[in-house]
Each structure stands twice: as structure tokens, then as C-alpha cells.
Amino acid sequence: MKFSNRIQDMQESPVRKLVPYAQRAKAQGKHVYHLNIGQPDIETPSVFMDAINDYDSKIIKYSFSQGEPTLITAIQKYFARDEIYFDHDEILITNGGSEALTFSTIAICDPGDEILVPEPFYTNYNGFTGEVNVSIKPITTSAHNGFHLPSQEEIEALITPKTKAILFSNPGNPTGTILTKEEMLMIADIAIKHNLYIISDEVYRGFAFDGLEGISMGSIKSVSDRTIIIESVSKRYSACGARIGSIASKNKDLMKQILKLCQARLCVATLEQIGAAALYQLPEDYTESIRSEYEARRNIVYETLKKIPGVVCEKPTGAFYVVAKLPVEDAEEFIIWMLTEFSDNKETVMMSPAEGFYATKGLGKDEVRIAYVLNTKEMARAMDLLRIALEEYNKN
């Protein structure tokens, strides 16, 4: 039996495909420090389960296709903290940020169209676009300047009649880069000039370090009619398994079109929406305490990396990731070696090979993405293991 070309063209997840090696390492008695996946170790705030436990209906009914009104109101108030105001019908609740990105792509693109994305990028962007026959056209960035955007002229040279949008995450996954206000204004100018949508993935907003601020694209009024903001409770509130995301846009006509997709899949899980509404109502100091914890972890990772000979890495300023160029020819082979042949006191580390976060062939082959999602003591040990492993690997 034949499989579709669409499914065969989709890549395996570079974050998850090496899991069998980690499982075998554990079966051999090794402790594996998982720095390969963006799963926070911080406890989900108790208000999530409290709200679900207080739900008093005897029937778990369908929710509204648009989403639970209490959750939409909570998200409205969350944006209003930054003086970004959405009407009730300008927010749609989705099954995670993943569905939000897929629905946005379907609504603005036809098969064969293109979306510009700075690379390296969240690898599942390939899945969200590829499953509906839309192509990613990469805007290449480099570790040497902290993965900031190239010039406007370089970006505009990539635009074709098939280009429909610019998609980016800010703060960035996998790079940890925060776009400057100037970069965001440049994106806005390009979008207006070439009549493009802007898909702003803001799942990590709030995780900004060194006194910087993760600015929402929603604050740039000149592009409010073409901006689509993607939100999620996964990272900010450590609720990845809740699968609650949202789409917000001032473009009411666009939102009416996306609502058709929401209606076609009926609704998002009712109880998780009730819990998520409670998360969005947490005070701002909750996010500040989490931000401080991740900044401390970032400092451990960066301070270790910059002392390892041959590593190229600018200090990440947001999210909880860093992409580092290692003194190896093939980062995936090195990661597999760490899981199969290396250990120090029966401990090793798992990272993600960064090649899968690029669309341009050959880029990222010697790079890894590190997710600093473990407590500071474990992060310090994991980074020391990486240092020891590189020394041993390069002796052979």
C-alpha cells in the first residue's frame, strides 16, 4: 500500500528521534540528564487542578468552538496588562499552540504557498506547514551574532508571489534570541510593503533576561490588521500536557474564517480550559519568579559553554534554550556517542541535534540545542558532563 507524498516528506522530530538511545542508556543503569526537550520541571501552579476540581457540572459538555468564555476573558485581561486590547471575538482557543499555528497556516495559505521563517526555528513549524502543503522559506541567521535578523534587503530578496507570511518565535525557540524593537519594526515594514501576514509565536513571552523585555507584536499598531499572535499555557505555566493554546488577531474577517476550522473540530477539552483560565489569572509576580529561575539556569549554561575551547555561542536572552556550535563535525553522532559510549559516574546528557531546526541543507550539523529545564544543581552537573565528554570525544 502506498503512503501519501505529504506524509513521506515530513521529517522526524530531531527532538524525539534519539529517544531510543536514551532508553537503552537508562536500561544499562545510566542516569540521563534530559536537555533535549522543552519540558519545564517547575510544578504546574495548583490553581489549575483546583479550578478543575471545583467544576460542579455533572456532565462534561461540549465547550464552545471559539473556546470557554472564562478563558477568553482571562486571556483578554492578560494582554491588557501590556495595553494590548482584544475584543472577545478576536480570540480563539486551540488545542495547544500547535493547532493555532496549523489553523493560521490553513487560513492564509493555499497549497504551494510559502512562509518566511528565520532559521534555526522550532522544528515542528515544518510539520504545521508541511501537512497542508505549504513550504517554509528560511531567513538564515547565525550563532556568531546571536541569531539576530539579517538586513531588510536580504529578507525582501527572499519574497516571491507565493510568499504569504513571516513567522517567528519571540523569544526564540531554539535560539533564546529576543528580537529588538528595531527588528520588529523592520518585520512590520516588510509585511506592509509586501502585503504579508505576520504570525508571532509568543509562547515564551515573559522569559526575558538581563533587563530586556519580550515585546509583543500586538503592541505595533500599524500591523494590527495583519498580525496573528500565538499563545499557550505550556511553557509560561509549565502545563505542556494541558494542550491549551490560542490565536489572537484584530483582523475580525480572518478570525471568522479560522472559526470555521474550530467548528470543524468541535471544541477544545472543557476541563483543561477551566484550569487554564485560572493560570492566566495568576498575578504578574508569578511569571517574574519563574523568569528569575530560568535566568539563573541560563547563566550556568552560558558560563560553562564559553569556557569550553572551540564552542561558539552568544548569550541567549530569553526563553529557555541555547544553540551552540560545538567543536565536532557531526553533533548528532556526538549525542549518540554520549548516550551509547560515554558516562561519568554512570551519568550522561541528552541534547537535540540542531541540524533539524534548519531548512537549509548542511546548516547546523555541528550545533546542538540545549534546553535548560533542570534545576541549577542538575544543570551544573549536566554542563560539566558535556565539557568532559567533548574532551574525551576529541581525543579519539
Contacts of 35 (CB under 8 A, 6+ apart): 349, 350, 351, 352, 370, 371, 372, 373, 374, 382
Residue 123: C-alpha distances to residues 15, 119, 184 (Å):
8, 10, 22
Q: For 383-396, what is the mean pLDDT? A: 95
H helix or E strand, kind and range, residue 384: helix 376-393
Residue with cell 535578523: 149
Per-residue model confidence (pLDDT) at position 340: 97
Considering only residues 51 and 395, tell me which one the structure prediction assigns the higher pLDDT: 51
Q: What pLDDT does residue 78 have?
A: 96
pLDDT for res 15? 65
Mean pLDDT value across residues 197-203? 98
Residue 56 reports pLDDT greater than 70? yes
pLDDT in tens, 245-288: 999 999 999 999 999 999 999 999 999 999 999 999 999 889 88
Per-residue pLDDT tens for 124-139?
Answer: 999 999 999 999 999 9
Tell me which amino acid residue 91 is: I
Q: How far apart are CA 129 and CA 162, in angstroms?
A: 14
Q: Return the pLDDT at 104.
A: 98
Mean of the pLDDT values across residues 237-245? Answer: 96
Residue 16 has pLDDT above 80, yes or no: no
What proportion of the chain, given as a percentage, has pLDDT over 70?
Answer: 99
Q: Taking 80 as the threshold, does the pLDDT of residue 184 lie above it?
A: yes
**How far apart are alpha carbons 118 and 85 in whole angstroms?**
28
Which pLDDT band, with edges at 50, 70 and 90, does 26 fall under?
very high
Cell numbers standing for residue 94: 486551540
Residues 6 or more apart whose Cβ sits within 8 Å of residue 332: 18, 353, 355, 365
The yes-or-no verdict on residue 396 having pLDDT over 80 is no
* Dist CA 150 CA 353 (whole Å): 24
Domains, the chain? 5-43+285-393 (3.90.1150.10), 47-283 (3.40.640.10)
Q: Decide: helix, strand or coil at residue 229.
A: strand
The pLDDT value recorded for residue 14 is 64
pLDDT tens digits, 143-165: 889 999 999 999 999 999 999 99
Model confidence pTM above 0.85:
yes
Grid cell listed for 25 = 542508556
Q: What is the phi/psi pair of residue 148, to 5°?
A: -85, 165
- For the chain, give the longest Cα–Cα distance: 65
